[in-house]
Protein backbone atom coordinates (compact mmCIF):
# COMPACT_ATOMS: atom_id res chain seq x y z
CA UNK A 1 0.00 0.00 0.00
CA UNK A 2 1.35 3.41 -0.98
CA UNK A 3 1.84 6.20 1.55
CA UNK A 4 -1.04 8.14 0.01
CA UNK A 5 -3.37 5.16 0.39
CA UNK A 6 -2.24 4.61 3.98
CA UNK A 7 -3.07 8.20 4.82
CA UNK A 8 -6.39 7.90 3.02
CA UNK A 9 -7.26 4.75 4.94
CA UNK A 10 -6.61 6.53 8.25
CA UNK A 11 -8.87 9.35 7.12
CA UNK A 12 -11.57 6.83 6.21
CA UNK A 13 -11.42 5.35 9.71
CA UNK A 14 -11.72 8.82 11.23
CA UNK A 15 -14.70 9.47 8.97
CA UNK A 16 -16.34 6.30 10.28
CA UNK A 17 -16.24 7.77 13.79
CA UNK A 18 -17.74 11.05 12.56
CA UNK A 19 -14.93 13.22 11.22
CA UNK A 20 -15.66 15.11 8.03
CA UNK A 21 -13.71 13.85 4.99
CA UNK A 22 -10.82 16.13 4.05
CA UNK A 23 -9.11 16.91 0.76
CA UNK A 24 -6.04 14.67 0.51
CA UNK A 25 -2.67 16.26 1.33
CA UNK A 26 -0.78 13.64 -0.67
CA UNK A 27 -1.71 12.26 -4.11
CA UNK A 28 0.36 9.66 -5.92
CA UNK A 29 2.09 10.96 -9.07
CA UNK A 30 0.32 8.44 -11.30
CA UNK A 31 -3.03 9.65 -9.98
CA UNK A 32 -2.02 13.27 -10.48
CA UNK A 33 -1.35 12.50 -14.16
CA UNK A 34 -4.83 11.03 -14.56
CA UNK A 35 -6.42 14.03 -12.83
CA UNK A 36 -4.51 16.36 -15.17
CA UNK A 37 -5.50 14.33 -18.23
CA UNK A 38 -9.14 14.59 -17.21
CA UNK A 39 -8.83 18.36 -16.86
CA UNK A 40 -7.32 18.60 -20.37
CA UNK A 41 -9.90 16.36 -21.99
CA UNK A 42 -11.91 18.08 -24.73
CA UNK A 43 -15.27 19.00 -23.16
CA UNK A 44 -17.23 18.02 -26.26
CA UNK A 45 -15.62 14.59 -26.34
CA UNK A 46 -16.23 14.13 -22.63
CA UNK A 47 -19.88 15.16 -22.97
CA UNK A 48 -20.36 12.70 -25.84
CA UNK A 49 -18.77 9.88 -23.83
CA UNK A 50 -20.97 10.67 -20.84
CA UNK A 51 -24.08 10.65 -23.01
CA UNK A 52 -23.14 7.30 -24.50
CA UNK A 53 -22.72 5.78 -21.06
CA UNK A 54 -25.91 7.38 -19.80
CA UNK A 55 -27.79 5.65 -22.59
CA UNK A 56 -26.97 2.27 -21.07
CA UNK A 57 -29.99 0.70 -19.40
CA UNK A 58 -29.84 1.06 -15.63
CA UNK A 59 -30.21 -2.09 -13.61
CA UNK A 60 -30.57 -3.00 -9.95
CA UNK A 61 -28.69 -6.27 -9.93
CA UNK A 62 -26.92 -5.86 -6.59
CA UNK A 63 -29.90 -4.20 -4.92
CA UNK A 64 -32.17 -7.08 -5.95
CA UNK A 65 -29.66 -9.66 -4.76
CA UNK A 66 -29.34 -7.84 -1.46
CA UNK A 67 -33.08 -7.50 -0.88
CA UNK A 68 -33.60 -11.15 -1.72
CA UNK A 69 -30.81 -12.26 0.66
CA UNK A 70 -32.13 -10.08 3.47
CA UNK A 71 -35.68 -11.36 3.08
CA UNK A 72 -34.59 -15.01 2.86
CA UNK A 73 -32.36 -14.79 5.95
CA UNK A 74 -35.17 -13.31 8.02
CA UNK A 75 -37.72 -15.77 6.60
CA UNK A 76 -35.43 -18.65 7.59
CA UNK A 77 -35.82 -17.54 11.20
CA UNK A 78 -39.60 -17.59 10.75
CA UNK A 79 -39.70 -21.00 9.09
CA UNK A 80 -37.38 -22.51 11.70
CA UNK A 81 -39.56 -21.22 14.52
CA UNK A 82 -42.95 -21.98 13.01
CA UNK A 83 -42.04 -25.49 11.84
CA UNK A 84 -39.67 -26.15 14.75
CA UNK A 85 -37.00 -27.50 12.40
CA UNK A 86 -34.09 -25.99 14.35
CA UNK A 87 -32.10 -24.67 11.40
CA UNK A 88 -31.85 -21.01 12.40
CA UNK A 89 -33.22 -20.50 15.89
CA UNK A 90 -33.54 -17.32 17.93
CA UNK A 91 -33.34 -13.83 16.42
CA UNK A 92 -30.67 -11.57 14.97
CA UNK A 93 -29.40 -10.51 18.40
CA UNK A 94 -28.71 -14.13 19.42
CA UNK A 95 -29.29 -17.27 17.38
CA UNK A 96 -28.11 -20.76 16.59
CA UNK A 97 -27.50 -22.02 13.05
CA UNK A 98 -27.46 -25.83 12.87
CA UNK A 99 -25.91 -25.98 16.30
CA UNK A 100 -23.45 -23.09 15.87
CA UNK A 101 -24.08 -20.23 18.29
CA UNK A 102 -24.25 -16.78 16.70
CA UNK A 103 -24.27 -13.71 18.94
CA UNK A 104 -24.46 -10.14 17.66
CA UNK A 105 -21.23 -8.40 18.65
CA UNK A 106 -22.89 -5.29 20.00
CA UNK A 107 -25.46 -7.32 21.92
CA UNK A 108 -22.74 -9.47 23.49
CA UNK A 109 -20.82 -6.37 24.53
CA UNK A 110 -23.95 -4.86 26.10
CA UNK A 111 -24.66 -8.06 28.06
CA UNK A 112 -21.09 -8.39 29.37
CA UNK A 113 -21.00 -4.73 30.38
CA UNK A 114 -24.32 -5.14 32.18
CA UNK A 115 -23.12 -8.28 34.00
CA UNK A 116 -19.67 -6.74 34.53
CA UNK A 117 -17.78 -9.88 33.60
CA UNK A 118 -16.74 -11.85 30.51
CA UNK A 119 -19.21 -14.62 29.67
CA UNK A 120 -17.43 -17.54 28.00
CA UNK A 121 -20.49 -18.85 26.13
CA UNK A 122 -21.02 -15.42 24.59
CA UNK A 123 -17.41 -15.28 23.44
CA UNK A 124 -17.87 -18.48 21.42
CA UNK A 125 -20.91 -17.07 19.60
CA UNK A 126 -19.33 -13.67 19.03
CA UNK A 127 -16.12 -15.22 17.68
CA UNK A 128 -18.14 -17.06 15.02
CA UNK A 129 -19.99 -13.88 14.04
CA UNK A 130 -16.80 -11.80 14.08
CA UNK A 131 -15.10 -14.17 11.63
CA UNK A 132 -18.20 -14.27 9.41
CA UNK A 133 -18.48 -10.50 9.09
CA UNK A 134 -14.73 -10.07 8.89
CA UNK A 135 -14.89 -12.12 5.69
CA UNK A 136 -18.09 -10.51 4.39
CA UNK A 137 -17.23 -6.92 5.11
CA UNK A 138 -18.39 -5.73 8.52
CA UNK A 139 -21.27 -3.39 7.73
CA UNK A 140 -22.55 -5.81 5.10
CA UNK A 141 -24.68 -6.95 8.05
CA UNK A 142 -26.56 -3.66 7.88
CA UNK A 143 -27.58 -3.75 4.23
CA UNK A 144 -27.72 -7.52 3.64
CA UNK A 145 -29.33 -8.82 6.87
CA UNK A 146 -30.80 -6.09 9.11
CA UNK A 147 -34.62 -5.91 8.60
CA UNK A 148 -34.89 -2.34 9.89
CA UNK A 149 -32.38 -1.28 7.26
CA UNK A 150 -34.78 -2.43 4.56
CA UNK A 151 -37.67 -0.49 6.12
CA UNK A 152 -35.43 2.58 6.37
CA UNK A 153 -34.41 2.16 2.73
CA UNK A 154 -38.05 2.17 1.66
CA UNK A 155 -38.72 5.17 3.92
CA UNK A 156 -35.81 6.92 2.23
CA UNK A 157 -37.47 6.46 -1.16
CA UNK A 158 -40.58 8.21 0.19
CA UNK A 159 -38.38 10.98 1.60
CA UNK A 160 -36.64 11.49 -1.74
CA UNK A 161 -39.99 11.55 -3.57
CA UNK A 162 -41.27 14.21 -1.16
CA UNK A 163 -37.99 16.13 -1.44
CA UNK A 164 -38.25 16.14 -5.24
CA UNK A 165 -41.65 17.80 -4.86
CA UNK A 166 -40.11 20.24 -2.35
CA UNK A 167 -42.41 19.04 0.42
CA UNK A 168 -39.56 18.10 2.77
CA UNK A 169 -35.94 19.14 3.23
CA UNK A 170 -33.26 16.82 4.57
CA UNK A 171 -31.62 18.06 7.77
CA UNK A 172 -28.25 16.29 8.20
CA UNK A 173 -26.97 15.75 11.74
CA UNK A 174 -23.38 15.69 12.97
CA UNK A 175 -22.20 12.12 12.30
CA UNK A 176 -20.13 12.14 15.49
CA UNK A 177 -23.43 11.61 17.27
CA UNK A 178 -23.29 7.90 16.41
CA UNK A 179 -20.00 7.47 18.27
CA UNK A 180 -21.47 9.39 21.20
CA UNK A 181 -24.51 7.09 21.26
CA UNK A 182 -22.21 4.04 21.22
CA UNK A 183 -20.46 5.33 24.35
CA UNK A 184 -23.74 6.32 26.04
CA UNK A 185 -25.35 2.91 25.54
CA UNK A 186 -22.19 1.16 26.75
CA UNK A 187 -22.12 3.32 29.89
CA UNK A 188 -25.83 2.77 30.52
CA UNK A 189 -25.33 -1.00 30.41
CA UNK A 190 -22.34 -0.75 32.75
CA UNK A 191 -23.99 1.59 35.25
CA UNK A 192 -27.54 0.19 35.29
CA UNK A 193 -26.84 -3.51 34.85
CA UNK A 194 -29.48 -3.49 32.11
CA UNK A 195 -29.05 -3.74 28.35
CA UNK A 196 -30.84 -0.46 27.61
CA UNK A 197 -29.97 -0.46 23.92
CA UNK A 198 -31.42 -3.93 23.35
CA UNK A 199 -34.76 -2.67 24.64
CA UNK A 200 -34.98 0.06 22.00
CA UNK A 201 -32.98 -1.44 19.13
CA UNK A 202 -35.20 -1.34 16.02
CA UNK A 203 -33.10 -4.16 14.58
CA UNK A 204 -33.99 -6.45 17.47
CA UNK A 205 -37.60 -5.26 17.67
CA UNK A 206 -38.33 -5.81 13.97
CA UNK A 207 -36.44 -9.13 13.94
CA UNK A 208 -38.40 -10.53 16.88
CA UNK A 209 -41.67 -9.24 15.43
CA UNK A 210 -41.08 -10.96 12.10
CA UNK A 211 -40.22 -14.25 13.81
CA UNK A 212 -42.71 -14.39 16.66
CA UNK A 213 -45.50 -12.37 15.09
CA UNK A 214 -46.13 -9.87 17.88
CA UNK A 215 -44.98 -6.37 18.70
CA UNK A 216 -45.84 -4.43 21.85
CA UNK A 217 -47.61 -1.10 21.44
CA UNK A 218 -44.63 0.93 22.63
CA UNK A 219 -42.27 -0.92 20.29
CA UNK A 220 -44.62 -0.32 17.35
CA UNK A 221 -44.88 3.40 18.20
CA UNK A 222 -41.08 3.66 18.57
CA UNK A 223 -40.27 2.03 15.22
CA UNK A 224 -43.05 3.95 13.47
CA UNK A 225 -41.80 7.22 15.00
CA UNK A 226 -38.28 6.52 13.71
CA UNK A 227 -39.55 5.87 10.19
CA UNK A 228 -41.78 8.97 10.21
CA UNK A 229 -38.86 11.07 11.45
CA UNK A 230 -36.69 9.71 8.61
CA UNK A 231 -39.38 10.38 6.00
CA UNK A 232 -40.14 13.98 6.99
CA UNK A 233 -37.03 15.28 8.70
CA UNK A 234 -33.69 13.45 8.57
CA UNK A 235 -32.95 10.93 5.84
CA UNK A 236 -31.87 7.55 7.30
CA UNK A 237 -31.41 9.16 10.73
CA UNK A 238 -31.09 5.98 12.79
CA UNK A 239 -28.62 4.11 10.59
CA UNK A 240 -26.41 7.13 9.87
CA UNK A 241 -26.44 9.00 13.16
CA UNK A 242 -27.46 6.70 16.02
CA UNK A 243 -27.13 2.92 15.56
CA UNK A 244 -24.18 1.51 17.56
CA UNK A 245 -24.47 -1.82 15.71
CA UNK A 246 -23.33 -0.13 12.50
CA UNK A 247 -20.31 1.37 14.22
CA UNK A 248 -19.37 -1.95 15.81
CA UNK A 249 -19.48 -3.76 12.47
CA UNK A 250 -17.69 -0.85 10.82
CA UNK A 251 -14.71 -1.54 13.10
CA UNK A 252 -14.77 -5.17 11.93
CA UNK A 253 -14.87 -3.86 8.36
CA UNK A 254 -11.48 -2.18 8.85
CA UNK A 255 -9.86 -5.59 8.50
CA UNK A 256 -12.18 -7.09 5.90
CA UNK A 257 -10.80 -8.21 2.51
CA UNK A 258 -14.17 -7.59 0.81
CA UNK A 259 -14.69 -4.00 -0.25
CA UNK A 260 -15.82 -1.70 -3.03
CA UNK A 261 -12.91 -0.49 -5.16
CA UNK A 262 -12.85 2.78 -7.10
CA UNK A 263 -10.94 3.12 -10.40
CA UNK A 264 -10.03 6.71 -11.21
CA UNK A 265 -9.24 6.46 -14.92
CA UNK A 266 -12.72 5.41 -16.04
CA UNK A 267 -14.72 7.75 -13.77
CA UNK A 268 -16.61 10.74 -15.24
CA UNK A 269 -17.46 12.13 -11.76
CA UNK A 270 -21.14 12.19 -12.56
CA UNK A 271 -22.05 11.90 -8.89
CA UNK A 272 -24.82 9.35 -9.35
CA UNK A 273 -23.05 7.02 -6.92
CA UNK A 274 -23.07 9.56 -4.09
CA UNK A 275 -26.75 10.31 -4.68
CA UNK A 276 -27.77 6.70 -4.05
CA UNK A 277 -25.17 5.83 -1.40
CA UNK A 278 -26.63 4.91 1.98
CA UNK A 279 -23.56 6.47 3.68
CA UNK A 280 -22.30 9.03 1.12
CA UNK A 281 -19.29 10.18 3.15
CA UNK A 282 -17.55 6.90 2.24
CA UNK A 283 -17.56 7.97 -1.44
CA UNK A 284 -15.69 11.20 -0.79
CA UNK A 285 -12.83 9.78 -2.84
CA UNK A 286 -14.89 9.84 -6.07
CA UNK A 287 -15.24 13.63 -5.94
CA UNK A 288 -13.25 15.23 -8.74
CA UNK A 289 -9.59 15.66 -7.78
CA UNK A 290 -9.73 13.68 -4.50
CA UNK A 291 -8.59 10.19 -5.54
CA UNK A 292 -5.11 9.67 -4.07
CA UNK A 293 -4.23 6.79 -6.39
CA UNK A 294 -5.50 5.22 -9.60
CA UNK A 295 -7.35 2.59 -7.53
CA UNK A 296 -8.76 3.39 -4.07
CA UNK A 297 -10.66 1.01 -1.76
CA UNK A 298 -13.79 2.55 -0.24
CA UNK A 299 -13.63 2.90 3.55
CA UNK A 300 -14.80 0.47 6.27
CA UNK A 301 -18.05 2.35 6.98
CA UNK A 302 -19.29 1.23 3.55
CA UNK A 303 -22.27 -1.15 3.85
CA UNK A 304 -21.34 -3.01 0.63
CA UNK A 305 -24.93 -2.50 -0.51
CA UNK A 306 -23.92 -2.36 -4.17
CA UNK A 307 -26.12 0.64 -5.09
CA UNK A 308 -23.12 2.61 -6.33
CA UNK A 309 -21.95 -0.39 -8.36
CA UNK A 310 -25.37 -0.61 -10.00
CA UNK A 311 -25.59 3.06 -11.02
CA UNK A 312 -21.99 3.72 -12.08
CA UNK A 313 -22.22 3.96 -15.90
CA UNK A 314 -18.55 3.12 -16.48
CA UNK A 315 -17.99 0.36 -13.92
CA UNK A 316 -15.57 2.52 -11.95
CA UNK A 317 -16.95 1.09 -8.70
CA UNK A 318 -16.78 -2.68 -8.30
CA UNK A 319 -16.77 -5.32 -5.60
CA UNK A 320 -13.24 -6.48 -4.90
CA UNK A 321 -11.49 -8.96 -2.64
CA UNK A 322 -8.18 -7.65 -1.40
CA UNK A 323 -5.27 -9.61 -2.83
CA UNK A 324 -7.33 -11.70 -5.24
CA UNK A 325 -7.74 -9.09 -7.97
CA UNK A 326 -4.00 -9.10 -8.64
CA UNK A 327 -4.03 -12.87 -9.06
CA UNK A 328 -6.89 -12.86 -11.56
Residue 326 lies in a domain: no
HSE on the CB side for 81, CA within 13 Å?
17
Residues 163 and 302 in one domain: no
Same domain, residue pair 150 and 283: no
Same domain? For 76 and 218 the reply is yes
Distance in angstroms (rounded) separating the CA atoms of residues 250 and 139: 5
Helix axes 202-212, 61-83, angle to 10 degrees: 60
**218 and 303 fall within a common domain:** no
176 and 41 inside one domain: no
β partners of residue 318:
261
Question: Cα–Cα distance between 83 and 34 in angstroms, integer?
Answer: 58
In tens digits, the chain (328 residues) has pLDDT values of 788 999 999 999 999 999 998 899 899 999 999 988 877 766 666 666 666 666 554 678 999 999 999 999 999 999 999 998 888 889 998 888 888 888 899 999 999 999 888 877 788 889 989 999 999 998 999 999 999 999 999 999 999 999 999 999 988 899 999 999 999 999 999 999 999 999 999 999 999 999 998 778 899 999 999 999 999 999 999 999 999 999 999 999 999 999 999 999 888 887 889 999 999 999 999 998 999 999 999 999 999 999 999 988 888 999 999 877 654 4
- 179 in Cβ contact with 243 (< 8 Å): no
Answer yes or no: is 183 within a domain. Answer: yes
* Domain coverage including residue 288: 3-57+257-321
Shared domain check, 139 and 18: no
pTM for the whole structure: 0.90
Same-domain pairing of 185 and 279: no
Which pLDDT score, from 0 to 100, does residue 328 have?
Answer: 41
114, 148: one domain: yes
Does residue 152 sit in the same domain as residue 290? no
Phi and psi angles of residue 251, each rounded to the nearest 5 degrees, phi first: -60, -40
If asked whether residues 84 and 221 sit together in one domain, one would say yes
Contact 43, 268 (CB under 8 A): no
- Domain annotation covers residue 62: no
pLDDT per residue as tens digits for the range 165-202: 999 998 889 999 999 999 999 999 999 999 999 999 99
Q: What is the DSSP letter of 20?
A: P
Tell me which residue of 155, 128, 303, 142 sits closest to 225, measured CA to CA: 155
Amino acid sequence: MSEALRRRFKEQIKAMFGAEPQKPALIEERAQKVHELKRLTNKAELAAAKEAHRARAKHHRWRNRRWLTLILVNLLFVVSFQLDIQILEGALTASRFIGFHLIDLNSALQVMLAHKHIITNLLIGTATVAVLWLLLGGRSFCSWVCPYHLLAEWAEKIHLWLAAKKLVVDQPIDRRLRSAFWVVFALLALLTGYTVYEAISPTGIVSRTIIYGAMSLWAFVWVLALLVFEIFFVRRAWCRYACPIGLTYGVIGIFSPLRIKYTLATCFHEGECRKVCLVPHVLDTVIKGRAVDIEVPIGPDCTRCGLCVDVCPTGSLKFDIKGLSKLM
